Amino acid sequence: MDATTGLPWAAQCLGMAFSAFSLCLVSLAVVLLLVRRWPWCSCHVCRAYLTGSWAKDFTNLGDWYAHLLRESPTGTVHVHVLGCTVTANPANVEYMLKTNFDNFPKGKTFSAVLGDLLGGGIFNVDGDAWRHQRKMSSLELGSVAVRSYAYKIVAQEIDARLMPVLAAAADDAGKIIDLQDVFRRFAFDTICKISFGLDPGCLEREMPMSKLAAAFDAATRLCAMRGAAASPLLWKAKRLLNVGSERELRDAIKLVDELAAAMIRERRKLGVANSHDLLSRFMASADAVDDKYLRDIVVSFLLAGRDTVSSALTTLFMLLSNNPAVAAAMRAEAATGDSLSAVTYEHLKDLHYTHAVLYENMRLFPPVQFDSKFCAAADVLPDGTYVSGGARVMYHPYAMGRMPRIWGADHAEFRPDRWLTGAGGSFVPESLYKYPVFQAGLRVCLGKELAVTEMKAVAVAVVREFDVEVVGDSGSGACACAPKFVSGLTASVSGGLPVRIRRVKK
């Protein structure tokens, strides 16, 4: 046999050996998982999680958690197979996010789960790196110039792109569109303009899909799968072998990296002087800025500004479809001007009922349904729960919005009036520790005001001109109260939100 004949055979043998090694490694990971977690914990909670039997009675994992937390006397439960304590107790939330903040960092485990996507961005770091980015972000997002610039972009996007898309659907009798997809495209265009000064054009009439948006969707979904795994050994083994979901994640992140780099190059080419977009301001003010640092900022802004806004708007119009009286009240309150451009930022702030509707929507359907911290040193939570050092602690806004001890017997009802307790029926917020939709304490969301303004602007513009009717299972009966969500870092409705758009009769 000559050398050329032997090469294919050698390659085949090497491939078979590698496959056998891969199978052994994955098998070892499964064995280690079983030895570590099973059957040492045979409680009903762990068995339900591992077997998926919770899905027989609950639409979403979050609904199951809400049930467990309502049943718990303290509003806290342990999921031993995850090494996790889950809480919906406001006192615990305040303790973690404020009182003993330094003992509940994001932690290395969390950073590992999201590190390939978020890198060293603000959502994935602790300590000095977090303080530095937060200080810079606070200065920029608190700037009057940036807020004015952002509102102008939001108004232009609504008038020039969102409203024409909805009008075209309304004029095409019987046409059904996926409103979730529309809002995701709108939010993606808007955050790219605000953050980077660039326009991906996702919400044009022909509705092209951005490769970056698709890759970002896949990356966030697959990172969430890592966090839900009973053991990190499983996804780490697949990442090492570059197989399955980890291979898909690597491909998605590669595309995110490439297009984020293209954004940075384009921003540099256009120049940063006298530009109000956030990336330009970071470039102009940061010391020793490198492309990796800027890439992580780009990805963090996309996660914060696109997925959360589109998620909240999707569930908002799902609820309004089933509550036409609420939509009518919003319409009456917002009856000013012919376009959003005629509605001032100050006027939006005075729309107390609309503000209450937005908060009530996010109480029931928070865009980020849970958040995890890690307990650095062994601690005891205010409700008496002991947490060992290195353990994961999760507070659950989705479950908290469904707790009668926080919201009363009507906690399951969509009732915006619960927020109008101020003079003359004005909006009064609840404690952020009871309503941690925007986090709270030292990590409270810096973009909160900008996000609420954007959502309010969209809500006002759409309800004044259109009635939105959800069609299919998503719009009737129990499904409207418990939509099925896709596993991800933010909440998105499985299958989208199919709707018919009708013009309001004037």
Contact 113, 227 (CB under 8 A): yes
**Best CA proximity match to 263, nearest among 305, 306, 307, 298:** 298
pLDDT at 297: 82
Q: Map residue 74 onto helix, strand or coil.
A: coil
Per-residue tokens: 434: 């009871």
Residue with tokens 């997002």: 141
Calpha distance 421→437 (Å, rounded): 20
CB-CB contact of 123 with 114 (8 Å): yes
Average pLDDT, the chain: 84
Nearest CA to 311 out of 442, 437, 500 is that of 437
Q: What pLDDT sits at residue 338?
A: 57
Contact 330, 463 (CB under 8 A): yes
Average pLDDT over residues 34-41: 51
Report helix angle 211-228 to 244-270, nearest 10.
140
pLDDT tens digits, 263-315: 888 888 888 777 777 788 777 765 546 788 888 888 888 877 788 999 999 99
Answer yes or no: are the C-beta atoms of 297 and 121 closer than 8 Å.
yes
Determine the length of the chain. Answer: 506
Q: Which residue has the higher pLDDT, 117 or 65?
A: 65
pLDDT band at 474 (very low <50, low <70, confident <90, very high): very low
The H-or-E segment that residue 498 falls in is: strand 498-503
**What percent of the chain shows pLDDT beyond 90?**
47
CB atoms within 10 A of CB 370: 19
Cβ-contact 141, 297 below 8 angstroms:
no
Which residues make Cβ contacts (< 8 Å) with residue 327, sequence separation at least 6? 320, 463, 467, 468
What's the pTM value of the predicted model, to 2 decimals? 0.86
Q: What is the pLDDT of residue 20?
A: 60
Instruction: Tell me what percent of the chain is helix, strand and coil, each rounded to the nearest 5.
Output: 65, 10, 30
Please answer whether residues 452 and 354 qualify as being in contact, where contact means their C-beta atoms are separated by less than 8 angstroms: no
User: Taking the CB of residue 152, how many other CB atoms lie within 10 A of it?
Assistant: 15
Strand 392-395, strand 84-87: pairing: parallel
CA distance 354 to 352: 5
**291: helix, coil or strand?**
helix
Q: Which helix (H) or strand (E) holds 139?
A: helix 127-141
Cα separation, 445 vs 448, in Å, equals 5
Q: Minimal CA–CA distance to 226: which of 113, 303, 117, 124?
A: 113
39 prior amide bond cis, ω within 30: yes
**pLDDT tens digit sequence for 343-364:** 777 888 899 999 999 999 999 9
Which of 28-42, 62-76, 142-156, 376-390 is least confident? 28-42
pLDDT digits (tens, 9 = 90+) for 182-193: 999 999 889 888
Q: Which phi and psi (to 5°) does residue 104 adopt?
A: -130, 65
